[in-house]
Chain A
Amino acid sequence: MAFLEVEDLKVHFPVKGGIFGRTVDHIRAVDGVSFSLEKGKTYGLVGESGSGKTTTGRAIIGLNRATAGKITYNGHDITNLKKADLDVRKEIQMIFQDPYSSLNPKKRVLDIIAEPLRNYEKLSKQEEKKRVLELLELVGLSSESITKYPHQFSGGQRQRIGVARAIALKPKLIIADEPVSALDVSVQAQVLNFMEDIQEALGLTYIFIGHDLGVIRHMCDDIGIMYKGRYVEEGTVDDIFDNPQHIYTKRLVAAIPDINPENRREQIYYRQEVQKEYEQSYDDYFGDDGLAYGLKPISETHLVALPEKG
């Protein structure tokens, strides 16, 4: 039994219009997404802005209502849970993209990290402080930080505070929504290394949402590529990077800037090839409505959205 299973998840947002403000249409932000992940693994969700990767993550944790579909966590159906059954939610936490806006500027670090503890666990003041200090140590911040405010920290340190808050309740699944894209490269490496360390230490499972394929490749075991709310390809890291099948995946992989200056010309050439192929065969890979087809397995781990005929 998979640790987390998402079956045919749909999240549609109504578009209101007309004089009565009736629903005239829907935006299909997530339109039939299925995947499952195993305990202790890292699953990457990749796509351009607007592809629905963040909405998928938010639907799993319950920040967006699922229109249809089923999300099973550890055997429990957690689709659109009511407040009363919040217990499972404790085990799923989120790290947000922007460490500058995801921490309340008016609260001290102590209050920020203790907030989930206060919600779920009845602790005395001393116990609470002890727990927060433990967490701070775990994420590599000094104990004086406890009385400081978010603006007194750098971006990387703030992201660590966000991580400390996320792991305060000893969750089992963490959804990390572009946790490093707002950070500088040197700090990015610190946070990525650190996320890998705590994954090992605490046995965490990650869903890693991102668009930087270098980071995704570094962090993830399995990857799903999204385009306009649907999957175009899913597979292990090797499937996706060494053997991309869908034209959209190829285009994404080709767009990554190579760090080696000597490869410049080859890369431009390759990119133009892929771009040409993309334009020519767009109709073969996408349906009349511009959406991807259903996924077909081409190996045990590798699924590609190909048209019915073949």
Chain B
Amino acid sequence: MSKLLEVKDLRVSFKTYSGEVQAVRGIDFDLKKGETLAIVGESGSGKSVTTKAITKLLPEPQGYIKTGEILFEGQDITKYSNKQMQKLRGRDISTVFQDPMTSLNPTMKVGKQIAEGLIKHRKMSKAQAREKTIELLELVGIPQAEKRLNQFPHQFSGGMRQRAVVAIALACNPKILIADEPTTALDVTIQAQILELMKDIQREMDSAIIFITHDLGVVANVADRVAVMYAGKIVEVGTADDIFYNPKHPYTWGLLGSMPTLDSDEEELFAIPGSPPDMLNPPEGDAFAPRNRFALEIDTQMEPPMFQVSDTHYAATWLLHEYAPKIEPPESVQRRMQGFASMDDGKDGEA
């Protein structure tokens, strides 16, 4: 598969009165055609900022790309002018934002908001755009599309609004769909519907999805590959199976262990102590070290490089170094890994 998007050593900073906040501190990843990449992390880990850098929606001039390249189909789009970006956004790369209540224009009919992109990017006539809009509304599962198109966002329920936002994002058959916590504001039953809808549409249109979330349950449901971000860096990346069955980074262990699941009954949750570091003065060495109960001495002095675990799986922790002591993941995480593995025979425990 060809690489649709390549991000190389991207660094994004924000200028504030108290100094420079390093939100993203050098990340590399790529996205292939038709795949779903999930970026997971806590608030403040830089996951949303990364996607905003890709779409050039950073609040300039405070937020800026310090270094790095973003290659979209081989072209470095960090050098694009605003005009070029406008063409790209909506047509090739589009975004579904977290909150459907605020991402729609309350004074504009829903149909018109969807048709806007069609008329602008695909040069459709009004009549054509209307027809396509009805088609899109039906695609995202909004009944009575012809009637709905003349309604305003406040006449839609939360789930319906998010469907309308998905329809806008899909209007121009984008090559990349960025979904920034698209279901966080929704109820569980509606969340399940929206996730399935996005997967169906992806299959139909063969677009790639970048899925930003902090909910690992959602990740397990949708992602082909997962990148775990912490303090502005990708600390572990791999296929969904790599991350869930064979996680290597202590932060990933913590994330997996802290999720109450339906199987974890009475046991204490494996909480990650403390809180994320201050990005004004990122700590020296491994940023996760102060919260890491498995931290080694070297963690406070030197940042760990990416160690390769397998062809698809990389993790940035000194624990993978050949001289590092062999440390097993905490019991609760191990139990989970075993639980996962027992349901699946073809997986090896160690890679």
Contact = CB atoms under 8 A, between A and B. Distances in A.
A193 interface: yes
Contacts of B275: 154, 156-157, 187
A218 B271 contact: no
A283 interface: no
Contact of A261 (B187, B191, B244, B258): B244
B264 interface: yes
B254 A186 contact: yes
Interface string B181-210: 000000111011001100000000000000
B42 interface: yes
Nearest to B192: A255
Interface in A145-184: 154-157, 184
A48 interface: yes
B272 interface: yes
Contacts of A241: 262
A138 interface: no
Interface string A254-276: 11111111111001100100000
A188 interface: yes
Interface string B164-193: 000000000000000000000001110110
A65 interface: no
Contacts of A49: 158, 187
A117 interface: no
A154 B41 CA distance: 16
Given A258-B217, A261-B244, A48 B189 contact: yes
Nearest to B340: A260
Interface in A42-61: 48-49
Interface in B248-299: 254-262, 264-265, 268-273, 275-276
Contacts of B340: 260, 262
A218 B269 contact: yes
A267 B221 contact: yes
B43 A184 contact: yes
Range class of the B interface residue count:
35 or more
Contacts of B43: 155, 184
Given A214-B261, A217-B262, A193 B343 contact: no
Given A156-B275, A214-B217, A255-B191, A189 B262 contact: no
Contact of A262 (B268, B272, B344): B344
A267 B270 CA distance: 26
Contacts of A219: 260
Nearest to A251: B189
Given A48-B187, A262-B340, A186 B218 contact: no
Interface string A186-219: 1111101100100000000000000111110111
Given A190-B273, A211-B187, A184 B42 contact: yes
A189 B254 CA distance: 10
B214 interface: yes
**Which of A157, A219, A258, A260 has the most chain B CB atoms inside 10 A of its CB?**
A260
A157 to B, nearest CB: 7
Contacts of A271: 192, 196
A185 interface: yes
B215 interface: yes
B241 interface: yes
**Which of B255, B275, B340 has the most chain A CB atoms inside 10 A of its CB?**
B275
A252 interface: yes
B149 interface: no
**Which of B43, B196, B217 has the most chain A CB atoms inside 10 A of its CB?**
B217
Contacts of A155: 43
Contacts, number: 121
B265 A217 contact: yes
Contacts of B260: 189, 192, 212, 214-215, 217-219
Interface string A238-253: 0001000000000110
A185 B343 contact: no
Contact of B258 (A154, A188, A251, A252): A188
B343 A218 contact: no
A212 B258 contact: no
Contacts of A259: 216-217, 220, 244, 256, 259, 261, 336
Contacts of A217: 260, 262, 265
Contacts of B37: none
A42 to B, nearest CB: 12
A308 B22 CA distance: 63
**Which of B220, B276, B344 has the most chain A CB atoms inside 10 A of its CB?**
B220
B203 to A, nearest CB: 12
Contacts of A213: 188, 262
B262 A192 contact: no
B192 to A, nearest CB: 4
Given A48-B188, A218-B264, A263-B343, 11 more contacts: A154-B275, A186-B255, A186-B258, A186-B272, A189-B257, A193-B268, A193-B271, A256-B217, A257-B220, A259-B261, A261-B220
26 contacts: A48-B187, A48-B188, A154-B276, A156-B275, A184-B42, A185-B214, A185-B216, A189-B269, A189-B271, A213-B188, A214-B217, A215-B260, A251-B189, A252-B188, A255-B191, A257-B192, A257-B195, A257-B215, A257-B220, A257-B221, A258-B221, A258-B262, A259-B216, A259-B244, A261-B223, A261-B241
Interface of A: 48-49, 154-157, 184-190, 192-193, 196, 211-215, 217-219, 237, 241, 251-252, 254-264, 267-268, 271
**6 cross-chain pairs, A with B, having the tightest CB-CB distances, nearest first:** A257-B217, A189-B258, A218-B260, A189-B271, A189-B269, A186-B272
Interface of B: 42-43, 158, 187-189, 191-192, 195-196, 214-218, 220-221, 223, 240-241, 244, 254-262, 264-265, 268-273, 275-276, 336, 339-340, 343-344
